[in-house]
Structure 1
Amino acid sequence: MKKIGLLLGLTLLVGCSAPSAQLKLSSDKENNRASSVSKSPTVSIPFKTRAQASQIEKMGADILEVQPGYLVAIVSPKVTRLLKEKGFTTTPVQVGNGQRNVFDKGYHTYASMVEELKSTVAKYPSICQLVDIGDSWEKTRGQADRDIWALKITGPSKGQKPNILFDANHHAREIVTTELAMKLISYLTTGYEKDAQVKNWVDTREIWIIPMNNPDGHIKAEKGLDWRKNTDSALSNDASFPPYGTGVDLNRNYPFHWGESASDNPSDPTFQGPGAFSEPETQAVRELFKQKKFAVSLFLHSYSNLVLYPWGYSADPTKDDARFAAVARKMASYNNYTPMPESQLYVCSGGSDDWAYGEMGAFSMTIEVGGRKDGFDPPYASMDRFWKENLPSFQLLLKIAHDPWKEKI
């Protein structure tokens, strides 16, 4: 996408190719999710301290969840050897529906998401604008034609309005997050003329929703790969085990304390990239933040049934820890998830929440949707449960957007 004009490269729609040979997908068993899991199993790894959990991640373990005294991760043979050398033990575990290796037809593909967004704008032109906020990595290399889309929802009333962002699908395989974002869009647009509270939120706030921050990676998930990162192949072309292969972990690519505690190995699942904001997908978020100066941001991930808040890079509390904790507890009272600072899981740097709060001043949080029995690709029917669990949290953040630091919760 060419960056021109005062919109900082954001292309506004008002009212309404193939990847490289090294990344080419086939339909044979070598490339489906079951094959990748069988080659690199999901295991339980006991640990005693938070520092040990962080050490395990830096060794290249693809951590799925963290529980008191142990974590669950996908580990390659190389990582298994490193863990053994450092004295860690591993025990195989089953991760439920996430290993079905099925992309249910109810889930949005990139193409169907774009089609629905354009249809929504056509149907609700007075409150919706579709914005091209950037290009995927493959588009920047001429390998595909995928833009990163954001939907702006706000009423026609003038005056200063707080900006709030809901962002989904930083990690490719976390497909349920795109669905929650699309359901939120439907809730706000269809409810505008029917629900007085929804109308008030839309009229008095500027709501931005990015349903798919990582479209290239999502395409991999659509085809059955257990893909986490984007598809940046500049430094790594190891596609033999998708979570450890090609790409950059977009949620380790933000500049706030970048490089302190994420992996610098290009084939690791949490590879931080060659530099902060090296990826077009995170650059797109940066440019939108610079323009809109969001008061509140929520990043949707899966899975672990968690409500998370800064810091991630440090075990020290933020100066706003009491407020973050209070809001997180309130959100957890709705969805029965566990509220905690991100670093209580393990210390990791370069995350979106730390940057959005620490550098941009937003009240920024993360929800990890679903549990181990759900995994990354549960039956689409699970979306009804996820929506009921998390809508009240979305409503709470919409409610406090005018003053997230003091508004009564």
Structure 2
Amino acid sequence: MKAWIALVAFTVFVGGMYYVYMGKDRTDIDLTEEKGTVNQYEVIGTSVEGREILAYRFGEGSRTFVLVGAIHGGYEWNTAILSYELIDHFTANPGVVPPNMEVVIIPVANPDGLYKVVGTSARFTPEDAPQFDYSNEIDPQGSVAAGRFNANDVDLNRNFDCEWKPNATWENTPVKAGSSAFSEPETRALRDFLLAESPEVVVFFHSANDGVYPNFCDAGPSREVLELTDLYSKASGYPFYDKFTNYEVTGAAESWLATQGISAITVELSTHKVIEFEKNLAGIKAMLGFYSETR
């Protein structure tokens, strides 16, 4: 028997953490063979409009690996679905996480932006998302491009403290970067969570520039982050780039992490519609292997 199951069936709150029963949401799962498992998540903050930002944990190791989706909300809705499919995978396959590692997945870093486009900040399907030519949607006031921003119309990936400017750009179009670095509740939530976790590496999923990029701020990328970027590129098949040159990016989350001594890479999916689960799972497994075997 095969069917669609809701991701969350029930939750309980125990010892300061939420525990959620999670079923599989991919239609290729045989329900006679696989069952949902108990997993834990926590609320790391809320959006301008009060929507929760969730982090799901897998493994109990001392080294943390963080994955972040949908910082550009509904404009990059496919990164949220990718993140949820990765949650499914680690829920069903807990042994994938090495004993010395913990994987944390934040599927939707910009829930208000996702809500603008999809009509929900929770789990959804590709059929719920808009299907149109994104090349015609650069106007920040456009129906889907508006989902890139939070409820204050701020581009969250221009609101971090690395070369922050009040007036930033996206595709050479002016966008709001907030009244100051970390002026937005979503970026403060990510900042505080990541500083508390002190992860080995953070991966940010974006779309759609088809490539993998290392993080750095005013200096060039470190040798380690270049090695990680190359590793992910080779395992996943995404092109490797040592920097983003399409246009100026200021106040980016991954760049700010470089100022904190935390390695991060940006993975750009190849289009705004594809999920590319297998490619990214291969890259993630390669990075987990790197930290479990050589670190």
Q: TM-score, normalised by structure 2?
A: 0.74
Aligned to 2:47: 136
Aligned to 1:353: 254
Instruction: Output the amino acid matched with 1:209.
Output: I
Q: CA separation of 1:354/1:147 partners in 2, compared to 1, >3 Å: closer, same or farther?
A: same
Pairwise CA distance, 1:269: 5.5
Aligned to 2:207: 302
Pairwise CA distance, 1:402: 5.4
Distance in 2 separating the partners of 1:341 and 1:251: 19
Instruction: Output the amino acid matched with 1:282.
Output: T
Aligned to 2:90: 188
Aligned to 1:317: 220
Structure 1 segment 7-406 matched on structure 2, within 5 A: 12-16=16-20, 123-125=36-38, 128-139=39-50, 146-155=51-60, 161-172=62-73, 173-192=75-94, 196=95, 198=96, 200-201=97-98, 203-223=99-119, 224=130, 225-226=143-144, 227-232=147-152, 247-259=153-165, 262-263=168-169, 270-311=175-216, 313-314=217-218, 317-318=220-221, 320=222, 322-359=223-260, 361-370=261-270, 374=271, 376=272, 378=273, 382-383=274-275, 386-401=276-291
Count residues in correspondence.
245
Instruction: Output the amino acid matched with 1:335.
Output: S
Are the equivalent residues in 1 in contact too, given 2:215–2:263 (CA < 8 A)?
no
Q: CA separation of 1:231/1:261 partners in 2, compared to 1, >3 Å: closer, same or farther?
A: closer
Pairwise CA distance, 1:344: 3.1
Instruction: Output the amino acid matched with 1:186.
Output: D
Distance in 1 separating the partners of 2:267 and 2:17: 29
Pairwise CA distance, 1:15: 2.8
Aligned to 1:40: none
Are the equivalent residues in 2 in contact too, given 1:229–1:269 (CA < 8 A)?
no
Pairwise CA distance, 1:116: 5.3
Are the equivalent residues in 2 in contact too, given 1:166–1:299 (CA < 8 A)?
yes
Q: Which structure has the highest strand share of the two?
A: 2
Distance in 1 separating the partners of 2:109 and 2:16: 17
Q: CA separation of 1:123/1:389 partners in 2, compared to 1, >3 Å: closer, same or farther?
A: closer
Q: In structure 2, the residue corresponding to 1:174 is in which secondary structure?
A: helix
Deviations 1:26-70 (A, max 9, x none): xxxxxxxxxxxxxxxxxxxxxxxxxxxxxxxxxxxxxxxxxxxxx
Are the equivalent residues in 2 in contact too, given 1:14–1:130 (CA < 8 A)?
yes
Q: TM-score, normalised by structure 1?
A: 0.54
Aligned to 1:98: none
Q: Which runs of 5+ in 2 are unaligned?
A: 1-14, 26-34, 120-129, 131-142
Distance in 2 separating the partners of 1:230 and 1:215: 8
Distance in 2 separating the partners of 1:12 and 1:165: 21
Distance in 1 separating the partners of 2:236 and 2:247: 23
Pairwise CA distance, 1:260: 8.3
Distance in 2 separating the partners of 1:261 and 1:345: 18
Q: CA separation of 1:181/1:12 partners in 2, compared to 1, >3 Å: closer, same or farther?
A: farther
Distance in 2 separating the partners of 1:282 and 1:204: 28
Moved more, 274-283 or 216-225: 216-225
Distance in 1 separating the partners of 2:84 and 2:67: 10
Distance in 1 separating the partners of 2:287 and 2:175: 29
Distance in 2 separating the partners of 1:263 and 1:177: 21
Structure whose CA Rg is larger? 1
Distance in 2 separating the partners of 1:217 and 1:329: 31
Aligned to 2:125: none
Q: In structure 1, the residue corresponding to 2:80 is in which secondary structure?
A: helix
Are the equivalent residues in 2 in contact too, given 1:308–1:342 (CA < 8 A)?
yes
- Percent of pairs with identical residues: 25
Distance in 2 separating the partners of 1:290 and 1:229: 23
Instruction: Output the amino acid matched with 1:248.
Output: V
